[in-house]
Amino acid sequence: MDLLAHWNLNERPFEATWDTRYFFRSHDHDEALNRLTFLVEERTMNIGMLTGEIGCGKTLTRAVFTSRLDPNRFQVLTQENSAFAFKDLIGAVLERIDPDGKGQSKFARYERLRKLAEKLHVDNRHLVLIFDEAQEMSPTTLNEMKLLTNLNGDGQNFLTLILLGQPELRAHVAKLPSIDQRISLRFHLHPMTFEESSDYLQHRLKTAGHPTGDLFLPDAVGKLFQASKGIPRELNRLAKLALEYAWLCEMPCVPAVAVDAIIRDLSRHQNLFAA
């Protein structure tokens, strides 16, 4: 019997995926969604910043957020990798909405973006630019982002800029008053609590087809939470391995001994690599 049949699943529940069905609305993730939605609905707030530890779910939150925006009211563009010069980042944006436009200097690209944003505004559509991994921006690039806040008219901004990144993004921004003062909304995603982690595991199992989502015994959930510290990506990794271990051992559920076994194995191999 394969893993899915053994656990009464339709698909694997803990894979790394941007599938929005697996999004779990913890307190912080729900708050982040609400704040980002408010940010773009206002159309006057310049810049928003969402930060969080590695693996806390920023990218999936972003995917859910953008999927909920009405395309008749918003033009949303996301840059996955922000480790480029301002000119190149604007060029990447233009390549997707104005690939035949002329002018490749920084000024020419800025003017092309201004005209496009203004046209969208006239059509009652708001441009939303999202830059992920924004902690990779150089201070110069990050500082030049303030130029985008000058695209406005009729008492409204023509676009809203959203920076997503790891915690160090906050420190980078704090050193640049000209950009820091333009950030109207900022929010930091924290790891999940024990109760949220337990509900998260159940949610993903039910999304994958299990009728109740109750495969991990309470003591196993405790071990997973302790080892993952409530970080979703790490919780996925450990839960996936524990599920596979318990399947190979033909266990009827996932007990703490299964979690202990995979944690010991991971620790042993990590120590060997470090040596």
Residue-wise pLDDT for 80-96, tens only, equals: 999 999 999 999 999 99
Q: Where are the domains of the chain?
A: 3-9+193-268, 27-189
Checking if the pLDDT of 272 tops 70, the result is no
Check whether domain 27-189 has CATH 3.90.470.10, yes or no: no
* pTM score: 0.90
Strands (DSSP E) along the chain, which ranges?
Answer: 47-52, 74-79, 126-131, 152-153, 156-157, 159-165, 183-189
- Residue 174, token pair as written in the block: 């704090």
Q: Rounded to 5 degrees, what angle do the CA atoms 118, 144, 151 make?
A: 15
Give residue 271's pLDDT band: very low, low, confident or very high (50, 70, 90). low
If 0-12 CB within 10 Å is exposed, 13-18 middle and 19+ buried, where does residue 39 land?
Answer: buried
**Closest C-alpha to 192, from 46, 61, 69:** 61
Contact by Cβ (8 Å): 108, 102: yes
Any residues with CB less than 8 A from the CB of 256 and at least 6 apart, and which? 217, 219, 220, 222, 223
Residue-wise pLDDT for 124-140, tens only, equals: 999 999 999 999 999 99
- Residue 143, token pair as written in the block: 């500082």
